[in-house]
Structure 1
Amino acid sequence: MDSVTTLDTVANLKPIARDRLTLVETEFEAIQQLPMGQVGTVLEIYEGEELCYLVEFADLAGREYAMAVLTPDEVLPLRYELLLAS
């Protein structure tokens, strides 16, 4: 899998349950889960027993609405340029 670094753009590969989310905007408090495919930004990388990422999810206006700690198998790094194998 591609390596993920701080400030990388990622998408979640699995729905994220409400109890794993920190919701920032009150208008989103009623959601039960964050559906798969939401785009977020990696804010922190935690390298302990298990590698995980703090991901911030924001709308198109840049308003943060949720944060979650995700494992590598729950994120897909998004790339804007083609990376060719050498």
Structure 2
Amino acid sequence: MPALTSLDTVANLKPIARDRLTLVESEYQSIQHLPVGQVGTVLEVYAGDQPSYLVEFADLEGREYAVAILKSDELLALHYELALAS
């Protein structure tokens, strides 16, 4: 997977355990994990041999409900346009 950058749109490929999440909205405090396929935005990139990413998850109205630090193998970059090889 190409390196992710700030503001990239991603989805989580694995459930994210509650103890790895910072939950923002009170209505989500009872969840045990963030299910696979939630869409988020990369807020920060932490460089290194194994880069990690601070990802914000928000609802359809743009209200942040969770953040987590995730590794590249836990994320899928989402694309809105088809990038054609030259």
Which residue does the alignment assign to 1:84? 84
Which residue does the alignment assign to 2:48? 48
Distance 2:3 2:49 in 1: 17
Which residue does the alignment assign to 1:66? 66
Distance 2:3 2:68 in 1: 19
- TM-score, normalised relative to structure 2: 0.95
Residue-pair matches, total: 86
- TM-score, normalised relative to structure 1: 0.95
SS in 2 for 1:27: helix
- Please report the RMSD computed on the Cα atoms of aligned residues, expressed in angstroms: 0.9
Consecutive aligned runs of 4 or more in structure 1 exceeding 6 Å deviation: none
> How far did residue 49 of structure 1 move?
4.4
Q: What runs of 5+ residues in structure 2 fail to find an aligned partner?
A: none
**Percent identity at matched positions?**
71
The residue identity in structure 2 corresponding to 1:12 is N
